[in-house]
């Protein structure tokens, strides 16, 4: 994929180029490209006068940033204590088997990817996952498969 690094100029125009703007620049770049490929991080470092290692360090420290592309529907699977004791491992197994991917991978059609996260903050719904801005809770095998199938069906109709 060719990445238009010139598009970053708009991000710098809004966020600035000083070190204090790094997180805002990274957020803007991720909004622009969907993730933060190394060539984008290198351009950010160059424009801001920072070491690439510093920019990469900030990028990998914060869970909000992604260095790999994600599917159209990013599934965030809660692994917090409440979800863990309510069998989040089963949820991950069903997602992985049903979609044929491992954590961090993308389905062949680009529709799904999933990542484990420390906590979604909805412990009363454990086990829970989030897809886009919607939280799904009290999950079991059938419910998970139906959610994924429904999303796929809607995508096929678009």
User: How confident is the model over 79-96, as a mean pLDDT?
Assistant: 97
User: How confident is the model over 39-44, as a mean pLDDT?
Assistant: 97
Please name every residue paired with 131 in a beta bridge, in sequence order, or none if there are none. 75, 134
Residue 1 has pLDDT above 70, yes or no: no
User: How confident is the model over 37-66, as a mean pLDDT?
Assistant: 94
pLDDT band at 54 (very low <50, low <70, confident <90, very high): very high
Instruction: Give the CA distances from residue 14 to residues 9, 10, 64, 155, in Å, rounded to whole numbers and listed in that order.
Output: 9, 6, 20, 33
Q: Report the C-alpha gap between 77 and 137 in whole angstroms.
A: 10
The pLDDT assigned to 8 comes to: 95
pLDDT band at 133 (very low <50, low <70, confident <90, very high): confident
Domains and CATH numbers, the chain: 5-61 (no CATH), 73-157 (3.40.30.10)
Question: Which H/E stretch holds residue 131?
Answer: strand 129-131
């Amino acid at each position: 994929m060719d990445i238009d690094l010139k598009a970053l100029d708009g991000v710098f125009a809004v966020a600035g180029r000083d070190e204090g703007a790094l997180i805002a620049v990274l957020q803007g770049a991720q909004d622009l490209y969907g993730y933060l490929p190394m060539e984008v991080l290198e351009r950010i470092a160059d424009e801001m006068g920072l070491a690439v290692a510093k920019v990469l360090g900030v990028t990998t420290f914060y869970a909000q940033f992604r260095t790999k592309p994600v599917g159209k529907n990013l599934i965030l699977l809660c692994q917090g204590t409440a979800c863990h004791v309510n069998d989040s491992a089963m949820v991950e197994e069903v997602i992985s088997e049903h979609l044929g991917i491992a954590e961090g991978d993308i389905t062949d059609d680009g529709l799904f990817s999933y990542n484990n996260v420390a906590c979604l903050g909805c412990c009363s719904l454990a086990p829970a996952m989030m897809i886009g801005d919607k939280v799904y809770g009290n999950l079991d095998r059938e419910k998970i498969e139906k959610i994924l199938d429904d999303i796929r069906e809607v995508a096929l109709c678009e």
